[in-house]
A = this chain, B = another copy of it.
């Protein structure tokens, strides 16, 4: 099958074997999305070698349980052992022995086929097109903020960053009914948020020490400092992006102002699918462009451009073995 391959930070499209039969389901990938983490992997964020990609929608081609075959699915990305301390606590996304699709020791979805544990599959509701379903994973990650932090309707919430993930985070934050404003860098980001009824704020109107909750979704030290300065004493700072390298911080103000900092990663798929099914969140306008898998390197170049929105790959594979 055709697959994108990452090794030593270099990408190539190559022919590899369809992943061999295992206890997992084999899914024919219809669409996969390029995420910031994919780009970070090419810069050495993790020493991963294999097929990248963890946002996708597809159709089950083979499964241990034949009821799954033919189903349109998305899938959670952490393959958990089910028996370690974190799994037993109900946190399988923190399984100490986990593999992570396209990130840690498990081939990912930028390929014609991907194998995923049956336990990780979620059926896509009929009314949700593939173009929306492919956002299930990052939308779930955005929802994780609401799993972790109680945002009240009376809160003032600032989102710093309106990129691929930030766009979804802004839409999710707006669900709370709180006073939500987004600090965006590019005109296109502001337009897309406006389309979803989410308002932006100009940098010189953010103010200092006056937001109850600030979500940092730039992954940059400057974004982090902006977020910190905007937060009120006793406020909550959510770190929604992974940071490359080390960041230098003056921690004294975190103590004096009794700030709470919450790191946030993977989230719940079912509510994400429900938001897509009801249309309360429509991510389709975030699609910037689509490339066939054979042109994946061009797609990555498009995705890395400043302000780029979602770039999709279309693996378009035939039946397995064809």
Contact = CB atoms under 8 A, between A and B. Distances in A.
A262 B149 CA distance: 13
Nearest to A94: B233
Nearest to A250: B246
- The main secondary structure of chain A at its interface with chain B is mixed
Interface stretch (A11-19, A251-259, A311-319): A251-259
A173 to B, nearest CB: 18
Nearest to A254: B263
Interface residues of A, number: 41
B251 A243 contact: yes
Contacts of A210: 85
A275 to B, nearest CB: 21
A120 to B, nearest CB: 18
A91 interface: yes
B263 A259 contact: yes
A261 to B, nearest CB: 4
Contact of A264 (B255, B262, B264): B255
B209 A96 contact: yes
13 contacts: A86-B233, A86-B234, A89-B234, A94-B258, A144-B258, A239-B255, A243-B250, A246-B251, A248-B248, A248-B249, A249-B249, A256-B265, A260-B261
